[in-house]
Amino acid sequence: MKRRVAILISGRGSNMAALIGAAKSADFPAEIVAVISNHADAPGLATAAASGIATAVIESKPFGKDRAGFEAVLQRTLDENDVELICLGGFMRLFTAGFVKAWYGKMLNIHPSLLPSFPGLDPHGQALKAGVKISGATVHFVIPETDAGPILMQGAVAVADDDTPQTLAARILEIEHRIYPEALRLLASGKVRLDGDLCRISGIAGTGSTMISPAID
- Which residues have a Cβ under 8 Å from the Cβ of 124 and sit 6 or more positions away? 112, 113, 135, 165, 166, 168, 169, 172
What pLDDT was estimated at residue 205?
A: 63
- The one catalytic residue in 39, 111, 140, 177 is 111
pLDDT given for residue 34 in this prediction: 98
Q: Which amino acid is it at 195?
A: D
Domains, in order of start, for the chain: 1-103 (3.40.50.170), 111-137+152-204 (3.40.50.170)
Whether the predicted pLDDT of 213 surpasses 90: no
Region 90-105: mean pLDDT is 96
124 tagged catalytic: no
Q: Judge contact between 141 and 194, C-beta under 8 A.
A: yes
Model confidence at 76: pLDDT above 80:
yes
Tell me how far apart the alpha carbons of residues 33 and 4 are, in angstroms, rounded to a whole number. 6
Note the pLDDT of residue 209: 77
3 pLDDT higher than 80: yes
